[in-house]
């Protein structure tokens, strides 16, 4: 292993140790909240069914007409599942700022020691970027495992005759939230990763602009973020601008957006490298 790669691995390992407690807390909240929903909602449905059947002396069909089949959508659309997903998104957005700004916290500025390390400063940039994605993918993996376990719990609690015939994969496909947050289609999965990477690259560049130029840097960063957003969304408005909504096929639109995202990502890395090497103040 060459010296450059070894330094990057050490940096990433160091950042992972700093992330561990934060990630463990998010995982704990996600698992506990999910389990409550996986057990509570099927049990509430089953209890209402049983109570109705006993009190009204009704048949299974009559109970179904009253309460409908139990679908796992009732769980995945609930606060117990959507809540942790929203919390995870907000938490990692916060951590994307915190992973940089904590270096300047306190009297003994850690940024000084970090930037004085005998390594390329861009390694610091990429190690922070990588660790954000390690955390996100870890949380997403736990959420998927949790959903699968919860699906089995729901099937075990609710009587078969009251269950809607839906497989676990069909359930994931039917969820708008998970279609974007936890995409299982390969194309959508890599597209979501690409958007996430570019978003973080732009965000990191905005933060480094602020660290480099203070108040003026805030304005520069906001302008940079706005320009990046306009460039990304421009292809979607092209049809309205040219008064021809069929000027681009969906595949062509996806390719154009991907090229623009790649350009924005490359520019962000180049600008961030320059700022880290020449402008960032300690």
Same domain, 173 and 191: no
32 & 156 share domain? yes
Residues 93 and 140 in one domain: yes
- In this structure, how many other beta carbons lie within 10 angstroms of the beta carbon of residue 147? 22
Please indicate, yes or no, whether residues 31 and 133 belong to a single structural domain of this protein. yes
Contact call for residues 232 and 253 (beta carbons, < 8 A): no
pLDDT value of residue 219: 94
Tens digits of pLDDT across the chain (282 residues): 567 778 788 888 888 898 999 999 999 999 999 999 999 999 998 888 888 887 877 777 888 878 888 888 888 888 998 899 889 999 999 999 888 888 777 555 666 777 777 778 888 889 999 999 999 989 988 988 998 899 899 888 888 888 887 777 777 776 666 666 666 666 677 778 888 899 999 999 999 999 888 889 999 999 999 999 999 888 887 766 666 666 667 777 888 888 999 999 999 999 999 998 888 766
> 218 is in which domain, residue-wise?
185-282
Count of structural domains within the chain:
2
Residues 119 and 58: their CA atoms lie apart, in Å, by: 75
CA dist 279 and 210 (Å) reads: 10
What's this model's pTM, rounded to 2 decimal places? 0.84
């Amino acid at each position: 292993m060459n010296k450059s790669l070894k330094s990057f691995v050490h940096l990433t390992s160091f950042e992972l140790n700093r992330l561990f407690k934060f990630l463990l807390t998010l995982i704990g909240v996600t698992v506990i909240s999910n389990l409550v929903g996986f057990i509570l909602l099927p049990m509430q449905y089953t209890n209402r069914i049983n109570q109705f059947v006993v009190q009204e002396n009704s048949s299974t069909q009559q109970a179904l007409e009253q309460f409908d089949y139990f679908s796992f959508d009732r769980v995945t659309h609930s606060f117990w599942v959507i809540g942790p997903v929203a919390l995870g998104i907000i938490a990692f957005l916060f951590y994307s700022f915190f992973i940089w700004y904590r270096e300047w916290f306190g009297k003994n500025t850690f940024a000084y020691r970090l930037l004085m390390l005998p390594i390329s400063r861009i390694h610091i940039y990429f190690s922070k970027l990588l660790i954000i994605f390690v955390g996100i993918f870890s949380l997403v993996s736990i959420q998927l495992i949790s959903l699968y376990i919860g699906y089995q719990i729901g099937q075990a609690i609710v009587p078969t005759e009251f269950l809607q015939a839906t497989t676990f994969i069909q359930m994931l496909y039917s969820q708008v939230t998970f279609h974007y947050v936890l995409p299982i289609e390969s194309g959508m999965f890599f597209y979501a990763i690409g958007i996430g990477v570019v978003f973080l690259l732009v965000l990191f560049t905005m933060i480094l602009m602020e660290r480099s130029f203070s108040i003026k840097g805030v304005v520069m960063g906001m302008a940079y973020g706005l320009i990046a957003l306009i460039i990304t969304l421009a292809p979607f408005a092209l049809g309205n601008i040219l008064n021809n909504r069929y000027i681009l096929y969906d595949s062509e639109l996806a390719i154009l957006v991907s090229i623009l995202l790649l350009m924005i990502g490359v520019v962000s890395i180049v600008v961030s490298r320059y700022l880290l090497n020449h402008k960032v103040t300690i």
